[in-house]
Chain A
Amino acid sequence: MVWESVRLALQAIRRNTLRSFLTVLGIIIGVAAVIAMVTIGNGTTAKITSDLAKLGSNLLFVSPGQFGPGRASADAKAFNERDIEAMRAQLRSVRAVAPVSQKSVTLVYGTESRNTVVTGTDNDFFITQDWVLAAGRSFLDGELRAGRAACVIGQTVRDRLFGPAEAIGQNLRVHNVSCEVIGILEAKGQSSFGTDMDDTVLMPLRAFHRRIAGNMDIDRAYVSAVDGADTSRVQADIERLLRERRNIFPGREDDFVVRDMRQIVQTAAGTAAMLTGLLGAVAAVSLLVGGIGIMNIMLVSVTERTREIGIRLAVGAQEEQVLLQFLVEAVVLSLFGGLIGVLLGLGIAAAVTTALGVPLPVDPTIILVAFGFSGLVGIVFGFFPARRAARLDPIEALRHE
């Protein structure tokens, strides 16, 4: 009998294709929204997590100042070269400590120019940031000590300023400083924040200080712990060392921050996951609204088909059979809607994730849940109209115009 009801339902749906489509439009949109939101959200989360992991594993960020409500960060003093040396010498389980100072400058080569951020650092930067050279070399010890104007450039800078021409050995003007290109970084592409990671220029810290910044400040340091090290212990070590070096009395707050990459990844992933959940919840509400749409149209359909129900009852259909027919019709309709919605949602997710350059994680659970939920919507919102149909008095129903 159930199979028979499915056949009857398909017949009824086919007999009024347009109305059937409009009935399930709400379900289609709801399911598509849930699938698209959750899939795109998961893709973005995965992308953020992997990008941040790409920034370097076991990485800690050290910067002067404090962040948070009521805390001034401007007057905290910058780090200096001796701080970096002390960290290198005294911290255990540390692989690299890279000083970082940055400034936004204009690059000029021939007739081409470009605004880019230049970073003053040393060879530890390649370790902490997982940079690999595509061509040329990194800085020589002599260049670092003497602060020679030599630079390593990213792929974007190379492409935009030099075009097809050879870049290595050429002199690039960085903020009016003539600087020899000694190396080219391998491309990394976009970061999850949408910035072009290859739009960058690196030069020896001392060259940056003397020729570009005009001071000896170090904006921050990136510390890379050895594999398997306990980063929270490294973090505590850095804090102890810097409090000592910066003469902070016990009981006073730090005037610097050490942040563990893992925490940042966790926080970012947590935020992204929460956002995904939120969007999914909004989409789920629209699925519910779609269910009410089904109930509405099914009620109209019961009224419209009162005569048909009367005929069915007169030829011997029982209440349960009519109930089953209308219920199955609602469920079949909403499952149809669910199916179209899943396909549409995946299509949207595929288009958006391709455009954003994030992965497309197809999660069978969410598809099953959305599909199952649309079936449930059919049962819940189809039941009331179906019961109304089944309880019609056959004589009244037959007389209905």
Chain B
Amino acid sequence: MPDQGTAATPLIEFQSLSRVFGAGAAAVRALDAVDMRIDEGEFIAIMGPSGSGKSTAMNILGCLDTPSSGAYRFKGVEIGRLDPARRALLRRRFIGFVFQGFNLLPRTSAVENVELPLIYRGAPQAERRELAMQALARVGLKGRERHTPAELSGGQQQRVAIARAIVTEPAVLLADEPTGNLDTSMSREIMDLLVALNRGQGITVVMVTHEPDMAAYAERVIRFIDGRIATDEHRGRAA
């Protein structure tokens, strides 16, 4: 088993990280003293039964949520207890999100959806438009820039969401069940795209999925059970 460079600082490190919802007898330990490290350029699938803490882990990874205890280090810096404004800055700078439900703005063209994160970075309009067009081209949606979500198929909508996630050149792309709403052939398209982004552009991808077929695209599969990591397999690149 190849040890992933102990010397180099990992991109992401969880150290005895817990997330507890509620208090007292009703408290739920969604994450229970999790230790996990993710290196730059990895493609990881997170699996596990419903309620095992996958989404909770993703939200913390994505700086949408904060741990109850333990450490979350990003590029070696402890960021677990930042205030909302700083977390927003981190999301803007380093994180790209893709959701199961696409989460595009309705009645808004694909290119405007993709521009959204750039708006909050304060990029000038012309540059924004240019970057958004490039991102759409990278996900294979050239010519569909003016379509609104209602005018696109599920797979196309998810590609717009991926374009939106990568337009800021994030360090890590987080995808919570990105194929959960798609049929098999569309799911494969999306997985091929994620693999291409991971291999071609070196974007670290962390993806939650229920389907072993989709997890097979990843180099490493982490399985959660009851808020703990049950197994962590490195498989090497899929064929």
Which residues of A pack against B, CB within 8 Å? 1, 4, 8, 11, 15, 307-308, 310-321, 394-395, 398
Contact = CB atoms under 8 A, between A and B. Distances in A.
B contact residues, range: 20 to 34
Interface of B: 59, 62, 64-65, 84-85, 88-89, 91-93, 95, 97, 99, 103-108, 112, 116-117, 119-122, 164, 168
A12 to B, nearest CB: 10
A315 B107 contact: no
B116 A15 contact: no
A215 B89 CA distance: 99
Contacts of A313: 64, 88
Contacts of A311: 103-105, 116
Given A4-B119, A315-B91, A316-B93, 8 more contacts: A310-B103, A311-B105, A318-B84, A318-B85, A318-B89, A319-B88, A395-B65, A398-B99
Given A310-B103, A312-B116, A315-B116, A395 B64 contact: yes
A242 to B, nearest CB: 82
B164 A315 contact: yes
A316 to B, nearest CB: 3
Nearest to A390: B84
Nearest to A14: B107
Nearest to B91: A316
Contacts of B116: 311-312, 315
Contact of B84 (A11, A15, A312, A319): A319
B40 to A, nearest CB: 21
6 contacts: A11-B112, A308-B105, A311-B103, A313-B88, A315-B120, A316-B117
A329 to B, nearest CB: 14
A315 B64 contact: no
B113 to A, nearest CB: 9
A358 B232 CA distance: 87
A395 B62 CA distance: 11
Contacts of A4: 119, 122
A11 B107 CA distance: 10
Contacts of B103: 307, 310-311, 314, 398
A65 B122 CA distance: 81
A86 B59 CA distance: 103
A397 to B, nearest CB: 10
Contacts of A317: 88, 120
A319 B86 CA distance: 11
A189 B131 CA distance: 72
B102 to A, nearest CB: 10
Contacts of A315: 91-92, 97, 116-117, 120, 164
A312 B59 contact: no
Contacts of A307: 103
Contacts of B64: 313-314, 394-395
B117 A319 contact: no
Contacts of B107: 15
Contacts of B59: 395
Contacts of B65: 395
A319 B85 contact: yes
A314 B91 contact: yes
B53 to A, nearest CB: 14
Nearest to A318: B88
Nearest to A317: B120
A15 B150 CA distance: 14
Contacts of A312: 116, 120
Nearest to B105: A308
A8 B112 CA distance: 11
A145 B122 CA distance: 95
B105 to A, nearest CB: 6
B62 A316 contact: no
A244 to B, nearest CB: 88
A316 B120 contact: yes
